[in-house]
Structures are given as C-alpha cells and as structure tokens.
Amino acid sequence: MKEDHFFYVPDAGSLTELPFEEAMHAMRVLRLKSGDEIFLMDGVGNFYRAEITLTATRRCLYKIQEPLPQEQAWKGHIHLAIAPTKVMDRIEWMAEKSTEIGFDELSFLNCKFSERKVMRTVRLEKIIISAMKQSRKPWKPTLNQIVRFSDFISTPRTGQKFICHCYQEIPRKDFYTELQHCEPEDDEDITVLIGPEGDFSIDEVKMAIKNGYQSVSLGSSRLRTETAGLYAVMLSNLVNRCQ
Amino acid sequence: MKEDHFFYVPDAGSLTELPFEEAMHAMRVLRLKSGDEIFLMDGVGNFYRAEITLTATRRCLYKIQEPLPQEQAWKGHIHLAIAPTKVMDRIEWMAEKSTEIGFDELSFLNCKFSERKVMRTVRLEKIIISAMKQSRKPWKPTLNQIVRFSDFISTPRTGQKFICHCYQEIPRKDFYTELQHCEPEDDEDITVLIGPEGDFSIDEVKMAIKNGYQSVSLGSSRLRTETAGLYAVMLSNLVNRCQ
C-alpha cells in the first residue's frame, strides 16, 4: 500500500464526503480526481477502500468499495498522562512517535512543578493524525485537554495504574517488571503518569499512591520528560502486543 | 546531583585542565570560579568530583578530589547502524534519545535507497555529549562516519547481528523475541541495522543474511526510520539491562 493515499474520516463508513481539510488536501495537493482510489481510516480500527465520485471547488465525494476492518495490534487501553514540557516541540515528537508505536489516550497534567500550565492541542491533533496516516494505523489516540493532577488521579480508571518518579526515598518497583507480572486474568488496561522536568512533588506521588497508583521507576536511566513518556508507551505496547 | 555541573573530559583522570569548549562554558556561561566543585565524565564509565583551581582568560584548571567509577547499566556492546534520514533533525533526536536510553556505538549506512549519502557528524557529536551530561551517563557512544552498506556488513562483529526490514517475502523473526531467546552463554553484543525511508533493497537484505545477520521485524507497526532506530536501541537496552 506504499503509494496509496490515506484520509482520516471519522464515521467514514456512514458518510460519503471527505471532511473539508482532507478534501482540500486530496484535490489541491494530491490532485486526485473522480475515479481515483483512496483509503479512508475511521480512527476506530477500520480502513475503507473507496473511490472518488465527484470533486467540486470545495467538496470531494466518495463511494466505499470495501470495508477493511483491522485486528488491533495491542490489547487493552494504553493511556499516557504527562506533564507537558516547556518546549512544545518535545511533546509534539513524543505524540508523533507514540502514535507510530501505538497507544490509545494522551492526557496532560498540570502539576506543582509544571513549567507549562496551559497548552493548545489543535496542532498536536494534526500531528497525531499525520502519524496515524504515515504509520497506517486506523486507531486515533484520544487527546485530552490539560487537567489538574489531583483531578486526574481522583478519576476512576480501569486496569493497572502507575506513577513514574525519581524519589529514592519512596519505594519504587520496576515498571516493566510489574507490567510483565500482571496476571493473565487481570484487566489489560494501563494508565501511566509521567511528571514534569522537575518531577512530581513528593505530595503528588503520595496522593497518587493513595489513589491506587503503583510507585515505579523506568530503570536506571535519567530520562527527559518526553523520552520517559515515549519509553513508557513503548514498554506498555510491548507487554500488550498481539503476536 | 541536580544542580551539579558536568563536563565531558576524555582522559579526565590523567589531565588537569578542561578542554577549550568546556572551559569556555564553565567560565563564560556558568561563571564558575576557583574553588568551585565540578563533576567530570570521561566517556568510558567514570565520574570525577573535582575542584577548579585556576581560571584564566581561556583556560580552566582542575584538581581531582575523588574518582567515582560507575557500574554499567547494561551488558554487552549495543551498536546501531542506520541509514540517515533526509532531514537531519530526525537523526539528531534519535541520537539524543538513544544516548539517554543507553547504547554504545552509532554508525551510518549508505544504502541503495538512501536519500542522504553524505553527512557531517560534528553537530551530532555535540548533541550526544549534551545528552550524556543531561542523562548523567559517563559512557560516550562512539560515533562513526557514514560507510557503504556492503563495507559495514562485511566487517566482522562480535555477538548477535540483526537486519530489520519490511519485506514479507523474506522470512523474518520477531526482533525482541530473538533477543530474549539468546542463551546466557552467548555473547551479549548486539548489532542492529535499520534501513532508509525506502527500506533496504532486497539484495542488501540477502547480502546481510549471507553475512550472518538475522532477518527480523520490529513488530507490526510501520515505523519511521528514526523511530525504528530508537525502538531497536530501547529493546536492546531492555534485554541487556543490569538490574
């Protein structure tokens, strides 16, 4: 499918027209015309082979030829919640790379030592969609607005929950080892928290533990926030991958 | 050691003066003075606690107070050989992140489908040293100049050798599974090859197999070159890490 053209169309199966931005890209950049074959991804696990039936100034209609549902490459729901870095570039590449590897949800935390307390997700959403297309993954990770740390951890979550931190005075297990020790009958969902450049505060770590989060370390390496986030996604995906 | 100042000084143990660039950084940026404590990393596994003894216009002398040899966090020699991407940014972040995670050698391959046939490594060397300091790792990965693919694979290497590619017509095993199946008495060194954006050519893959490289896949995800490189380093480090 190397030379194929992919478009992200939520509810692709029940629609007959590309969303505006995708239509503009199809017609103005790729110069596609009526009769050309395209592939749609609906963000929830399906590709569709389709044919363009009509192109107008600002509209591009299609007809589905064949639905191509995909088997998920990993089990459970992988949710990364991370304190955004001061420099947005670093979070952007983490989102891109995590999408390539495969995960389900990305949340942002406003923590005590956060250097960035507000953030816009519009550009990030585009980066994620572009990475979905590039990596041919018809699953779109959910992207959430930034929330207060305390609000995030007090929200109920299914499966295993982890907080990664660097405090040697708080007992920590190894994240990957804990993931592997998960019993087969356990829920496969994973939520993992990564702190800001200055780490979580000790109080935040204690609060998370009280809320059922396991205190873990990502290993002996001292990683930047965005590297830790990607590494946590890679390990979660590795443990949950379907072979 | 959060507020400590780290300097990369090859042969730090037998010298008494910071290299020129490090000296300039110490004096002009950090405004360090005689009597200040600094930490040196020699790139081969040692930290040194030292004291600045003299600062002059372009020179900064030190005296070692205490050698602090470190235990390596991973076993064996992890060698990534990759075809550089057209956009250097992508290789740069891969080098930064791989250094944070931990590996030993980075080579660049000139392949049939390479979009970049030449590259300078001066800037990359600086990025690697900066990542070493940031991640507090006194091991400096060796950085090699770009070589022809055929020259690289015909050079003898110790340990396990892998070529990652996307050709479904050539049998491939799973990279991580193969790494795990390595017998304890086997050599722990790992060499892994990652191709350019357009992948290796089929002939290159066959040539590598003939030279003892195992044909492997990084999993079902379709990864960009630089993501594949980092992922291969992460998996190699994970399998070889000392706990």
- Say how far apart CA B117 and CA A118 lie, in whole Å: 42
Partner A contacted by B89 (CB < 8 A): no
Chain B residues lying within 8 Å of A221, measured CB to CB: 73, 100-102, 135, 137
Which chain A residue shows the shortest CA-CA distance from B103? A221
Model confidence band, residue A185 (pLDDT cutoffs 50, 70, 90): low
Indicate yes or no: CB of A136 within 8 angstroms of CB of B230. no
- Say how far apart CA A205 and CA A214 lie, in whole Å: 10
pLDDT at residue B176, rounded to an integer: 95
Residue A51 has pLDDT above 80, yes or no: yes
Model confidence band, residue A4 (pLDDT cutoffs 50, 70, 90): confident
| Mean pLDDT of the A42-47 span | 95
pLDDT at residue A222, rounded to an integer: 87
pLDDT at residue B222, rounded to an integer: 87
Residue B103 has pLDDT above 70, yes or no: yes
Per the document, the length of chain A is: 243
Indicate yes or no: CB of B137 within 8 angstroms of CB of A243. no
| Mean pLDDT of the A229-233 span | 98
Indicate yes or no: CB of A219 within 8 angstroms of CB of B73. yes
Closest CA of chain B from A55, distance in Å: 31
Percent residues over pLDDT 90 in chain B:
87
pLDDT in tens, A138-171: 999 999 999 999 999 999 999 999 999 999 999 9
Chain A residues lying within 8 Å of B227, measured CB to CB: 97, 100-101
Model confidence band, residue A2 (pLDDT cutoffs 50, 70, 90): very low
Measured between CB atoms, which of A73, A100, A176 is closest to B238? A176
Residue A25 has pLDDT above 90, yes or no: yes
Partner B contacted by A196 (CB < 8 A): no
- Say how far apart CA A7 and CA A133 lie, in whole Å: 7
pLDDT at residue B240, rounded to an integer: 94
pLDDT at residue B2, rounded to an integer: 45
Closest CA of chain A from B74, distance in Å: 10
pLDDT in tens, B13-58: 999 999 999 999 999 999 999 999 999 999 999 999 999 999 998 9
Indicate yes or no: CB of A231 within 8 angstroms of CB of B231. no
pLDDT in tens, B181-237: 876 666 899 999 999 999 999 999 999 999 999 999 998 888 999 999 999 999 999
Chain B residues lying within 8 Å of A176, measured CB to CB: 238
pLDDT at residue B220, rounded to an integer: 84
Phi, psi of A131 (to 5 degrees): -70, -35
Model confidence band, residue B72 (pLDDT cutoffs 50, 70, 90): confident
pLDDT in tens, B144-175: 999 999 999 999 999 999 999 999 999 999 99
Q: What is the DSSP string of B38-53?
A: EEEE-SBSEEEEEEEE
Indicate yes or no: CB of A136 within 8 angstroms of CB of B93. no
Partner B contacted by A170 (CB < 8 A): no
Pick A243 or A123 by higher pLDDT. Answer: A123
Partner A contacted by B137 (CB < 8 A): yes
Per the document, the length of chain B is: 243
pLDDT in tens, A80-107: 999 999 999 999 999 999 999 999 999 9
What pTM was estimated for this model as a whole?
A: 0.93
Which chain A residue shows the shortest CA-CA distance from B102? A221
Strands A190-194 and A160-164: parallel
Chain A residues lying within 8 Å of B176, measured CB to CB: 238
pLDDT at residue A26, rounded to an integer: 94
**A19 Cβ partners below 8 Å, 6+ apart?**
A8, A9, A10
Closest CA of chain B from A238, distance in Å: 9
Q: With contact defined as beta carbons under 8 Å apart, do A207 and A153 qualify?
A: yes
Residue A237 has pLDDT above 90, yes or no: yes
Residue B70 has pLDDT above 60, yes or no: yes
Indicate yes or no: CB of B223 within 8 angstroms of CB of A137. no
Partner A contacted by B172 (CB < 8 A): no
Q: Count other C-beta atoms under 10 Å from residue B185's C-beta.
A: 5
Indicate yes or no: CB of B223 within 8 angstroms of CB of A176. no
Model confidence band, residue A1 (pLDDT cutoffs 50, 70, 90): very low
